[in-house]
Structure 1
C-alpha cells in the first residue's frame, strides 16, 4: 500500500453551527479556517469542509443490504487503527449517538476482519468508521 494522501471532501449541512459542534465536540475534529457559510475540519488527517445550504431533498435510496443490515448510500468515513476503534465507539455511545448500524465485527477470523459502525451527522450525512484487524487486508479479496 502506498503512502496515503489526505482527501478533500465538501458536504452540505443545513445548520452550520449545529454541525460545527458535532464535528468538533462529538467527533473530536480540530476546526480550521471558516467563513460565515463554511468551516474546514481536520477529519482524522483529511480535509472536510462543511458548507451551509438550504435543506436538500433526501435521497430515496434505502441503501444496500450488507450482512442483513441496511447500509446507507452515500456515506463516507475513516478507517481507524483497530485499537482506536473501540475507544472511539465508546466515546460516541457516551455522547448518545444514535447508530444506524451499531458497532460490530464483520468477517470475524476471516480475511478482511473489520469493526464497523454507521451514524448520521445533524444534517443527515451518513458516516462509517471502521478498523481492520490487519490493516494490510484493507484491499484483500
Structure 2
C-alpha cells in the first residue's frame, strides 16, 4: 500500500536539458526541484521524474512496451490537463481516445511525446476500481 509520504521515482533519458525543462516545466507545468549539468529533477504530479542527459534516447518511438504517466481519479483533473496540453500546443503522440466502451475498464486516454521521444500517457477510468 502506498504511503502518501513516499514518492515514486522514475529516471528517463533526455537529449537536451533545456528542451526537457521547456517541455516539463514551462509547458506541462511540472515543478523543477533541482538542476545539475547532467540532469533535472521534477515534481511530476506529486512523484519524481529525473531527466538524465543521455545519447541513449529512443529514436524509434512506440507506445509499447515503454511509457509512463498519470491515472487521474478525478475526471476534472484529466480534462484540465488535456485542455492545457491543447492550449499550450504540447505535441500529442496519440490524440484523446475512449477505450473499452461498455466494459468495466472503460477509460479515456491520450499520449504526449517529449522532445526526447519519451511517451507520457494520461488516463481517467470511469470506474476508479480499475486504476490498478
Same fold (TM over 0.5): yes
Gaps of 5+ in 1: 64-70
* Structure 2: tracts of 5 or more residues without a match: none
The residue that corresponds to 1:67 in the other structure is: none
Does structure 1 residue 93 correspond to structure 2 residue 92?
A: no
Report the equivalent of 2:26. 25
Counterpart residue number, 1:66 = none
The TM-score normalised by the length of structure 1 is 0.81
State the partner residue of 1:73.
65
Find runs of 4+ consecutive structure 1 residues off by over 4 angstroms: none
1:15: which partner in 2?
A: 16
Query: Could you tell me how far 1:55 is from its partner in structure 2?
Result: 5.1
Cα deviation 1:105-124 (Å, max 9, x = unaligned): 21233201211001210111
Distance 2:39 2:32 in 1: 11
What is the match of residue 125 of structure 2? 132
| CA-to-aligned-CA distance 1:51-100 (integer Å, 9 cap, x gap) | 112254635xx74xxxxxxx443111111222211121111011112322
SS of the equivalent of 1:124 reads coil
TM-score, normalised to structure 2, is 0.86
